[in-house]
Structure 1
Amino acid sequence: MRKFFVILIIVLALGTAFLIKKDQSTGTRADVTDRIDTIELNIDSSDTTIISEKRDDVQAELDGKGTLSVQKNGDTIEVEVKRKWYQWFSFFGESDVTVYIPKAYERHLDLNIGSGNLTFSGESESKPMKLDRLNIDMSSGHIKLANLETTEFEHDGSSGKLTVDSLTTKEGSFDMSSGDVVLRNYVGPIEGDLSSGDMRVEMEKLVGDVRFDLSSGSVKLDLPDQADFTLKGEASSGDISCHFPLKDQKVDDGNIAGKHGSGKYKIDVSISSGNVDIY
Structure 2
Amino acid sequence: MKKLLLFLLVLVGLYFIGSSIKEASWFPFGRGDSHTQSIKQIDLLDIKVDSSNTTIIPEDREDVKTELEGKGKLDVDRRGDIIRIEVKRKWFQNFGFWNKSKLTVRVPQEYDRDMNVTIGSGKLTMEGPSKKDPMKLKKMNVNMGSGKLDLENLDVKQYKHNGSSGMANLTSISTQTGEIKMSSGIVNVDGYEGKLDATLSSGKLNVQMDKLEDSVDVHVSSGLVKLDLPDNADFTLKGKVSSGDISCDFPLESQEVGNHKVNGKHGSGKHTIDVTVSSGKVNIY
TM-score (norm 1): 0.93
Tell me, yes or no, if the aligned pair for 1:24 and 1:67 is still in contact at 8 Å: no
Give, in angstroms, the shift of residue 18 of structure 1.
Answer: 2.6
Choose the corresponding residue for 1:123, options 129, 148, 153. Answer: 129
Give, in angstroms, the shift of residue 43 of structure 1.
Answer: 0.8
**Which consecutive aligned stretches of 4+ in structure 1 deviate over 4 angstroms post-superposition?**
10-16
Computed over aligned residues only, the root mean square deviation of the Cα atoms, in angstroms, reads 1.7
Tell me, yes or no, if the aligned pair for 1:45 and 1:83 is still in contact at 8 Å: no
2:32 corresponding residue in structure 1 = 25
Trace 1:204-219 onto structure 2 (pairs within 5 A): 204-219=210-225
**Letter in structure 2 aligned against 1:147:** N
Tell me, yes or no, if the aligned pair for 1:59 and 1:70 is still in contact at 8 Å: no
Choose the corresponding residue for 1:172, options 152, 175, 178. Answer: 178
Tell me, yes or no, if the aligned pair for 2:20 and 2:92 is still in contact at 8 Å: no
Choose the corresponding residue for 2:107, options 84, 88, 101. Answer: 101
Choose the corresponding residue for 1:44, options 47, 50, 53. Answer: 50
1:225 corresponding residue in structure 2 = 231
Give yes or no for the alignment of 1:89 onto 2:100.
Answer: no
Change (3 A) 1:219 1:13: farther
Give yes or no for the alignment of 1:182 onto 2:188.
Answer: yes
1:140 corresponding residue in structure 2 = 146
List gaps (5 residues or longer) in structure 1.
1-6
Per-residue displacement from partner, 1:132-185 (whole Å, max 9, x unpaired)? 111101111110010110101110001111101101110000011111111001
2:4 corresponding residue in structure 1 = none
Distance 1:125 1:82 in 2: 34
Distance 1:16 1:72 in 2: 31
Give yes or no for the alignment of 1:261 onto 2:264.
Answer: no
Aligned residue pairs total: 270
TM-score (norm 2): 0.91
Tell me, yes or no, if the aligned pair for 1:146 and 1:164 is still in contact at 8 Å: yes
**Letter in structure 2 aligned against 1:252:** G
Which protein has the larger Cα radius of gyration, Structure 1 or Structure 2? 2
Distance 2:45 2:31 in 1: 23
